[in-house]
Amino acid sequence: MLNIVILGAGNVATHLFKAFETSESAKVIQVYNHRLESLSFFKNKTEVCNNINNLKDADLYLICLKDDVIEDYASQLKYKNTMIAHTSGSFPLLQNIEQSGVFYPLQSFSKFAELDYKNIPFCLESNTKSGIQLLKKLAKEVSKQVFEIDSKQRQTLHLAAVFVNNFSNHLYTIAEDICKKEDIPFDILKALILETANKIQTQSPKLAQTGPAVRQDFKTIDRHLSQISDEQIRRIYQLFTNSIIKKYE
Amino acid sequence: MLNIVILGAGNVATHLFKAFETSESAKVIQVYNHRLESLSFFKNKTEVCNNINNLKDADLYLICLKDDVIEDYASQLKYKNTMIAHTSGSFPLLQNIEQSGVFYPLQSFSKFAELDYKNIPFCLESNTKSGIQLLKKLAKEVSKQVFEIDSKQRQTLHLAAVFVNNFSNHLYTIAEDICKKEDIPFDILKALILETANKIQTQSPKLAQTGPAVRQDFKTIDRHLSQISDEQIRRIYQLFTNSIIKKYE
């Protein structure tokens, strides 16, 4: 049995805890957070603790905390002489730790959304062979998608994820605002949003591109621009249109 | 039985034909296109025709052609004294036609993608009451989502659709390019793309926003900007980040 102590009580900690619950060879034996109040979700499911000096011995300390404090917590755990891993998409592999690792689930976690962990890609890294083996075994307990990714690649992935996740979601927000102004229910767009994401599961997005920009349909582009009253939104329309035209010229 | 003649042989014509095939009260009795070669898909399924003077009598002429030629074809059909509708998201309701309509399926159609027509929103408009009744009956045969939308609203929807469909897809393309440069398989991002689109099916995108911009995490934003070598992509990153910060301030 692989004994895990999780540090943190946020979305990543909560979802990883849930994912490990179904595992037969890994067990979360303790969850730490500096505020005891944040640990209520875990309280009846495992041991909880808000004193860093009272951590149990474990095979893996999994730091699910903000980038700013990862280093600090890692240095406090160093004496444990066991695997210390973090779950950040952008923080580098911990240095000066005998066995350090990264266990990065590439997904956007909301506290209450139910997720199918089997389809979440886990991006792993370690400074030792046995470390990567341990993380791989653990990740495969949870997910079908397990990748060994170095720190530089992980930072690139994190950047790419901002484009497909944060920026796409902002496009949805802009569309919702555009609809609201004309009393159109945003619901009408939901099937299209899903189909857009579905289509590239089997086809390169480069080949899936449609719309007035890729057709160089300037009549429609000009009409669209005349429909947009918000200066910022018009800039986004213009920049995307130019970028698409340039890409497919 | 509602007898339909479809004009056009492109993606919209093909998918609407397929959707009507399952209907018990509507039947496509003929498909017209000026090039006979384009009609091979329909040839063994219904009558085909490339001479506009040989169109059969029908209850509905459905023009699934490019915006530029809709008016021209409509004027040639005028003498039929029956319902003439187009399927365009941006072209206005036809004028000077006794009974004109719009039958706009809000979806991005690829020729070969299988679609669940039941979930495609149909946006309808007509200049007569009986016209809107006819279109509604037809749309409900095919889809669960039927909306009455006027020309101005439809043009707004078409603009909003460009943001969620064309521009989101361009973001996916940018992410694919970013991954390629570091030999990272784009597949790793696919689950995240799907979850981003899934999340807003039940939650407003405004509330679903995550990432460094909404957190005003300037350390991460600066690092991301330093990772981007392409000038155009950096401009997109900057513009989105500013737009998100402004939206949530």
Q: Which residues of chain A are within 8 Å of residue B218 when distances are taken between CB atoms?
A: none
Phi/psi for B106 (5° steps) reads: -85, 85
Q: How confident is the model at residue B79 (pLDDT cuts 50, 70, 90)?
A: confident
Q: What gap in Å lies between CA B170 and CA A207, rounded to an integer? A: 10
Q: What pLDDT digit, counting tens, does each position of A34-82 carry? A: 999 999 999 999 999 999 999 999 999 999 999 999 999 999 998 888 9
**Residue of B67, B165, B209 lying closest to A173 (CB–CB):** B209
Q: What gap in Å lies between CA A40 and CA B113, rounded to an integer? A: 47
Query: What's the DSSP call for residue A211?
Result: S
pLDDT at res. B164: 98
List of E strands, chain A: 2-7, 26-32, 47-49, 60-63, 83-86, 100-105, 122-126, 146-148
**Residue of B108, B178, B243 lying closest to A236 (CB–CB):** B243
Q: Which CATH class is domain B2-149?
A: alpha beta
A8, A64 contact by CB (below 8 A) = yes
Q: Which residues of chain B are within 8 Å of residue A247 when distances are taken between CB atoms?
A: 170, 173
Mutation target to probe the B interface, by most B beta carbons within 10 A, among A145, A147, A167, A240 is A167
B25, B54 contact by CB (below 8 A) = no
Mutation target to probe the A interface, by most A beta carbons within 10 A, among B91, B107, B164, B201 is B164
pLDDT at res. A59: 96
Q: Which residues of chain A are within 8 Å of residue B209 when distances are taken between CB atoms?
A: 166, 169-170, 173
Q: Which residues of chain A are within 8 Å of residue B91 when distances are taken between CB atoms?
A: none
Q: Cβ separation of A184 and B159 shorter than 8 Å?
A: no
Distance from CA of A116 to the nearest CA of B (A): 10
Q: What gap in Å lies between CA A108 and CA B210, rounded to an integer? A: 8
pLDDT at res. A136: 97
Q: Cβ separation of A167 and B162 shorter than 8 Å?
A: no
Residue of B nearest to A220 (CA): B90
Q: How many residues does chain B have?
A: 249
Q: How confident is the model at residue B201 (pLDDT cuts 50, 70, 90)?
A: very high
B155, B129 contact by CB (below 8 A) = no
pLDDT at res. A79: 82
- In total, the C-beta contacts within 8 angstroms joining chain A to chain B are 294
Contacts of A37 (CB under 8 A, 6+ apart): none
A135 CB burial (10 A radius; 0-12, 13-18, 19+):
buried
Residue B195 has pLDDT above 90, yes or no: yes
3-state SS string for B120-151: CCEEEEECCHHHHHHHHHHHHHHCCCEEECCH
Mutation target to probe the A interface, by most A beta carbons within 10 A, among B104, B146, B171 is B171
Q: Which residues of chain A are within 8 Å of residue B170 when distances are taken between CB atoms?
A: 205, 209, 240, 243-244, 247
Q: Which residues of chain A are within 8 Å of residue B211 when distances are taken between CB atoms?
A: 162, 165-166
Residue B194 has pLDDT above 80, yes or no: yes
Residue of B nearest to A163 (CA): B171
Q: Which residues of chain B are within 8 Å of residue A210 when distances are taken between CB atoms?
A: 108, 110, 165-166, 169
As for the ipTM of the complex, it is 0.90
* Nearest alpha-carbon partner for A8 in A45, A44, A52: A52
Q: What gap in Å lies between CA A232 and CA B39, rounded to an integer? A: 44
Q: What gap in Å lies between CA B82 and CA B58, rounded to an integer? A: 8
Q: What gap in Å lies between CA A15 and CA B198, rounded to an integer? A: 17
**Residue of A165, A183, A228 lying closest to B192 (CB–CB):** A165
3-class SS of residue A129: helix
Mean pLDDT (chain A, rounded): 94
Q: What pLDDT digit, counting tens, does each position of B109-160 carry? A: 776 677 788 999 999 999 999 999 999 999 999 999 999 999 999 999 999 9
Residue of A nearest to B91 (CA): A220
Q: Where are the domains of chain A?
A: 2-149, 154-248
Q: Cβ separation of A236 and B237 shorter than 8 Å?
A: no
pLDDT at res. B74: 96
Contacts of B129 (CB under 8 A, 6+ apart): none
User: What tokens were used for A203?
Assistant: 């086809």
Topology (CATH) of B154-248: N-(1-d-carboxylethyl)-l-norvaline Dehydrogenase; domain 2 (1.10.1040)
Taking CA atoms, A211 is separated from A240, B44, B121, B160, in Å, by 11, 31, 18, 12
Mutation target to probe the B interface, by most B beta carbons within 10 A, among A66, A144, A200 is A200
Q: Cβ separation of A197 and B194 shorter than 8 Å?
A: yes
Q: What pLDDT digit, counting tens, does each position of A77-94 carry? A: 988 889 999 999 989 999
Q: What gap in Å lies between CA B159 and CA B161, rounded to an integer? A: 5
pLDDT at res. A109: 78
A74, A85 contact by CB (below 8 A) = no
Q: What pLDDT digit, counting tens, does each position of B35-55 carry? A: 999 999 999 999 999 999 999
Residue of B nearest to A207 (CA): B173
Min mean pLDDT across A83-87, B108-112, B204-208, B241-245 is at B108-112
**Residue of B106, B198, B209 lying closest to A192 (CB–CB):** B106
> CA angle, A92 as apex, A87 and A96 as ends, to 5°?
105
DSSP H helices in chain B: 11-21, 40-43, 67-77, 129-142, 151-161, 168-181, 190-199, 205-208, 212-215, 218-227, 231-248
Mutation target to probe the B interface, by most B beta carbons within 10 A, among A189, A216, A225 is A189
